[in-house]
Structure 1
Amino acid sequence: MQQLSMKKKWVDFNYAFYQVWENVFIMIMCLAFVLSDWMIGIFSFSDYLFGALFLMMVLSNNFKIRPKQYKWLIIVLTIIVFNILQNYFINDAFILKTGLAGLFKITTYAVVITSFYNFIDRHSLEEKLMKSMNITALIVCLIGFYISLALYTNGNLPYEFFWHFTRTDSISYLFEGSENLYRIRSLFSEPSYLGYYLTIILGVNLFNKQNIKTNILFLLLLILTIISTFSYSSIGIMMLILVLQFFSVETFKNMKHKKLDYFYIVLTLIALGILIFITKDIIQVTLIDRTSDILAGKDSSASARLLESWQYINTNHLISGNGIGHTPDIWNVYAYFLSDLGVAAFLGLVLFSGYLVKINYKLGILFIALNFQKGGYLAAPFYILIVLIFIFAYKKKSDIRL
């Protein structure tokens, strides 16, 4: 009886401070997204933050997973366990320790994002999450421009502390073949990873079904920062997002009685036109010349994403794959699934991608495009992308959700 009373007091205490917990949970998720390239030992800051988020949700009585979700989690994890056992017995190159580490990571990511999704959905915190992500992205953009300013002033401004836990080499921020053209990477290890992060933020702002409005100046800052990464893939996906948003049939239908929408589109086009004119020389080097190299087959980065990522597929283990975590770093998530986990997992990812297109075709297309930009299904950003799509894919609370 006393034990029951203590439990009730603890539940009541956490309920009284639920607003504190929601701020903490959202802040941790925003930081986990941003600090995914910061490393301590073999784990990223995101891994530690996911662990902290799991413990806080459990201790605050906010860890909830629905029966239907348990079923899907068990199915996915059972497939992975079976894959590990299969590789352990038939694949001499398989390292059990690596496989178990991969299983632990996927389990942690999947369980935490599922519970986080339920928390956001249960308390209708979609708009608060969006605002928090936007504030975080704003800070990330400003830090990126500050670091570039510091580099252009020959290090007269301090900036190295931002990169203490990640890369500091000049290759990570100098444009290829140039000694004085700096690419913005902010807190990330590569400009393309910053672009990956910002295109997701841009996509959920424009494609969310909760009709959450975003300041046009903030969207323009996101676009400017993405362009300043000089990441060909990031800029390409950004253009895809803008085309899906401003030139879709539904957009024109919704604009019938909203003249302000026309103003926003015209303002965006004017701002982009001015930006293109000011940076036309840089665009020539970073985009036009590089497009020419890609078409001529001279660009190694593009071929790595589209072709070379598939080279690690082992035809001798096509069904079981090489084993979870056994493929070297590549750019393509679909190739990762096929080479690591085999045909069944690859087809599962393809079907999952189709499901996302069905529930929200714009976010689904974005998911597919991003999977060709940045590999890594054993890293937090992949799972954060998934949970953000599910959070913002639906129109209202009454919609059928996971």
Structure 2
Amino acid sequence: MKHIFNYFDDWVKLSGKYHRFWSTLFLSLISLSFVLSDWMIGLFTFSEYIIGIALVLLIILGQFKITRKQIKIVTGIIMFLFVHLIFQETFNDLFVLKTEIAAIIKLMFYILMTICFFNYIVENNLKKKFLMINNVVAIIVSLIGLYIILAIYSDGFLPFDFLWHFTRSDVTSYIFNNGTISFVRMRSVFSEPSYLGFYLNTILAMNYFNSSHIKISNKFSIFISIIILLTLSYSAIAIMLISTFMYLFFKKKEWLNRNKRRTSISALLLLVFVIVLYFLFQDFFHHVFIQRTIDIFTDNSNSGYSRLIGSWKYVSNENFLLGNGLGHTPSIWNIYAYMISDLGIFGLLASVFFTVLIIKSNKELGIFFVLMNFSKGGYLSSSFWLFLLLVVIYSNKKHGETQMHGSSKT
């Protein structure tokens, strides 16, 4: 046994010499897992397979670490879920034990993934490298999306079906058609345009609001913003515009004050450009933005109504305290509605408490976090936990300062 531990120590030391390569491979796997969260093979998504590989890689490299405090938190979560399961099994006639057990296993897998990935990236000062890799992957995904749109408009001249082999390929997933106008919506390798928007908005917000003062070229952010517009996803575009406004107001306020004349000219040119675009594509703006805004506030938009109101329909007086059971709520759009619907008031309070911690750590990212939690549900999906991982990493000011002043192993 002693020889085995000696061999393992030698391997860890050897792998440390090639840390630059291993870290690039690991961070690339995590970035790719976010992109392939909608691809299914068997019972699991490509994302879950990749996350499993990444966890095994951490073990092989001797970098699989969990702190005592984190162990206590995980133990507390497990105990709560166990007690919750007993109460559901005892008092809820509609409760399905297999569903709850499967959901608990999945949830603990994601929690373990988030903790281990966070520890590795922060302790090895990889925040900047991780964000840069995410941006490169986002650009590649965007270019694939542009190719798919071009291929669709080529009417069969360019192949693209192979890119959707493991996800949806039906026309309703990429065509905007209200009977008057018809457009191809950008969805790239995701199953829906709004899911692509969710992913790109996550990367964009990390560029704008990271607490580590990491500078990412504005060219990346501008290109990502343009692609979000091409999704024609109302929620994605709205969040992108709010994020951009917050970035300019909070982060670039001093620069704007120093360059008032230059800013005024740029704003005037932008206004003229928008007005010209509006008159050239008047029907497009009316149906895609103005009419959809009216529909949302008049309950005529199914997606808008589902996000704001419909997601709460599974909450009742009978299940207010304990919820329906983990994994028992059908697909909805709102994370907070999921929490109270599945776990009752305790789940909602825990999610609100965590949200407050994010807001206290990084106000802009906290606001963004709330908006995103109303735009896409699914707390048992890998995309949510990878989004959460990025938010936790780049909202943490203490570790951000460590990165800026510490030595880098990359």
Matched residues in 2 for 1:112 and 1:381: separation?
Answer: 12
Quick check: 217-226 or 269-278, which moved more?
A: 269-278
Matched residues in 2 for 1:200 and 1:130: separation?
Answer: 11
Residues 1:396 and 1:346: Cα distance change in structure 2 (over 3 Å): closer
Residue 96 of structure 1 corresponds to: 97
Structure 1, unmatched stretches of 5+, are none
Residue 344 of structure 1 corresponds to: 346
Residue 382 of structure 1 corresponds to: 384
Name the amino acid aligned to 2:36. Answer: L
| Pairing partner for 1:319 from 318, 321, 329 | 321
Residue 282 of structure 1 corresponds to: 284
SS at match of 2:300: coil
Name the amino acid aligned to 2:129. Answer: K
The 5 Å alignment of 1:136-215 reads: 136-178=137-179, 180-215=182-217
Residues 1:263 and 1:117: Cα distance change in structure 2 (over 3 Å): farther
SS at match of 2:29: helix
Count of aligned pairs: 400
Residues 1:223 and 1:392: Cα distance change in structure 2 (over 3 Å): same
Q: What is the CA-CA distance between 1:221 and the residue it aligns to?
A: 1.3
Matched residues in 2 for 1:32 and 1:264: separation?
Answer: 42
Residue 56 of structure 2 corresponds to: 55
Matched residues in 1 for 2:159 and 2:311: separation?
Answer: 38
Structure 2, unmatched stretches of 5+, are 404-410
Contact preservation (8 Å) 2:212, 2:401: no
Q: What is the CA-CA distance between 1:2 and the residue it aligns to?
A: 2.5
Matched residues in 2 for 1:130 and 1:263: separation?
Answer: 32
Name the amino acid aligned to 1:198. Answer: L
| Pairing partner for 2:357 from 355, 358, 372 | 355
Matched residues in 2 for 1:305 and 1:62: separation?
Answer: 39
Quick check: 11-20 or 305-314, which moved more?
A: 11-20
Segments ≥4 residues shifted beyond 4 Å:
254-272, 274-280, 398-401
Report whether the alignment pairs 1:23 with 2:24. yes
Q: What is the CA-CA distance between 1:254 and the residue it aligns to?
A: 5.6
Contact preservation (8 Å) 2:66, 2:119: yes
Deviation per CA, 1:208-239, whole angstroms, max 9, x where unpaired?
A: 12222222222121111111111111111111
SS at match of 1:342: helix
Contact preservation (8 Å) 1:50, 1:108: no
Residue 293 of structure 1 corresponds to: 295
Matched residues in 2 for 1:321 and 1:265: separation?
Answer: 52
Matched residues in 1 for 2:221 and 2:171: separation?
Answer: 29
Name the amino acid aligned to 2:224. Answer: L
Q: What is the CA-CA distance between 1:263 and the residue it aligns to?
A: 9.8
Matched residues in 2 for 1:143 and 1:369: separation?
Answer: 27
Matched residues in 1 for 2:342 and 2:142: separation?
Answer: 34
Matched residues in 2 for 1:362 and 1:376: separation?
Answer: 23
TM-score by length of 2: 0.91
Residues 1:195 and 1:279: Cα distance change in structure 2 (over 3 Å): farther
Residue 407 of structure 2 corresponds to: none
Contact preservation (8 Å) 2:325, 2:343: yes
Residues 1:104 and 1:258: Cα distance change in structure 2 (over 3 Å): farther
Report whether the alignment pairs 1:335 with 2:337. yes
Contact preservation (8 Å) 2:174, 2:187: yes
Report whether the alignment pairs 1:216 with 2:218. yes
Residues 1:210 and 1:264: Cα distance change in structure 2 (over 3 Å): farther
Contact preservation (8 Å) 2:212, 2:400: no
Residues 1:298 and 1:372: Cα distance change in structure 2 (over 3 Å): same
Residue 127 of structure 1 corresponds to: 128
Contact preservation (8 Å) 2:110, 2:382: yes
SS at match of 2:121: helix
SS at match of 1:81: helix
Q: What is the CA-CA distance between 1:143 and the residue it aligns to?
A: 0.8
Residues 1:4 and 1:181: Cα distance change in structure 2 (over 3 Å): closer
Residues 1:158 and 1:352: Cα distance change in structure 2 (over 3 Å): same
Deviation per CA, 1:154-202, whole angstroms, max 9, x where unpaired?
A: 1211000110000011010011325741111101101111111111111
SS at match of 1:168: coil
Name the amino acid aligned to 2:218. Answer: I
Matched residues in 1 for 2:5 and 2:220: separation?
Answer: 50
Quick check: 262-271 or 134-143, which moved more?
A: 262-271
Residue 35 of structure 1 corresponds to: 36
Matched residues in 1 for 2:277 and 2:73: separation?
Answer: 47
Name the amino acid aligned to 1:5. Answer: N
Q: What is the CA-CA distance between 1:394 and the residue it aligns to?
A: 3.5
| Pairing partner for 2:244 from 226, 242, 245 | 242
Q: What is the CA-CA distance between 1:66 and the residue it aligns to?
A: 1.3
Q: What is the CA-CA distance between 1:27 and the residue it aligns to?
A: 1.0
SS at match of 1:80: helix
Residue 309 of structure 1 corresponds to: 311
Contact preservation (8 Å) 1:28, 1:53: yes
Percent identity between the two aligned chains: 37
Contact preservation (8 Å) 1:216, 1:264: no
Matched residues in 2 for 1:272 and 1:343: separation?
Answer: 49
State the Cα RMSD in Å.
2.5
Matched residues in 1 for 2:59 and 2:285: separation?
Answer: 50
Residues 1:395 and 1:319: Cα distance change in structure 2 (over 3 Å): closer
Matched residues in 2 for 1:109 and 1:279: separation?
Answer: 44
TM-score by length of 1: 0.93
SS at match of 2:183: coil
